[in-house]
Amino acid sequence: TGQCYHTFRGHSAEIVCLSFNPQSTLLATGSMDTTAKLWDLEKGEEVATLNGHSAEIIALSFNTTGDRIITGSFDHTVAVWDVGTGREQNLLIKKPTNNNATDVYKVNQCKAAVQCCLCVQLWNAVTGTHIATLAGHSKEVLDVCFDYAGQRIATASADGSARVYNAGTKQCIAKLEGHEDEISKVS
């Protein structure tokens, strides 16, 4: 119909990222106000505020089962939250402040992928342990995503290529070339 379903108000600064829960009617928003919020799309109301970051939340994503959400912040941390309680479950990554890698992009059932200049860091989202570094691009990685089953990881790069990795073996299984300029998104 093109009509506005709901208008959500509650952040005190711009919303810079959002994610739909794949298993429910929740929407998550991340803001420059250092919080993430969970919203019920059917009721049109706020369900929870996720407090804990000390700087802007620049990326967030639900896991495939919808019971966890991961947030990445300019405070150089990545946090995993319980969707049911709104409580932080794990401070996944604390990066040194001189590292330019601040963007978290995707999380599946138990893995988180973090863009890190020329590579992607793969982390266990439950334990917070580093699993692997996915390398191969000659310029900055601009986006990363998991397939729905969590078996493959795709990357997009400023070098004009995309790569697909096997999430189990961490090996590159396809290098996709043909664009004349950067690839900014992959899905």
pLDDT at position 100 is 46
What Cα–Cα distance (Å) separates residue 128 from each residue in 25, 52, 90?
Answer: 28, 17, 7
What Cα–Cα distance (Å) separates residue 18 from each residue in 56, 86, 129, 175?
Answer: 13, 16, 26, 29
Q: Is the whole-model pTM more than 0.85?
A: no
Please name which of 7, 2, 87 lies closest in space to residue 46, comparing C-alpha atoms. 7
Residue in the structure block whose two tokens are 């998104």 = 185
pLDDT at position 97 is 46
Burial 138-174 (b: 16+ CB within 10 A, else e): eebbbbbbbeeebebbbbbbbbbbbbebebeeeeeee
pLDDT at position 169 is 94
Q: How far apart are CA 81 and CA 70, in angstroms?
A: 6
Q: Which portions of the chain are predicted below pLDDT 70?
A: 93-116
**Number of residues that make up the chain:** 187
pLDDT at position 118 is 81
pLDDT tens string 77-117: 888 899 999 998 877 765 544 444 445 445 555 566 666 67
**Tokens describing residue 152:** 């493959």
pLDDT at position 95 is 55
Instruction: Please provide the CATH number assigned to the domain covering 15-141.
Output: 2.130.10.10
Q: How far apart are CA 79 and CA 77, in angstroms?
A: 6
List the chain domain ranges: 15-141
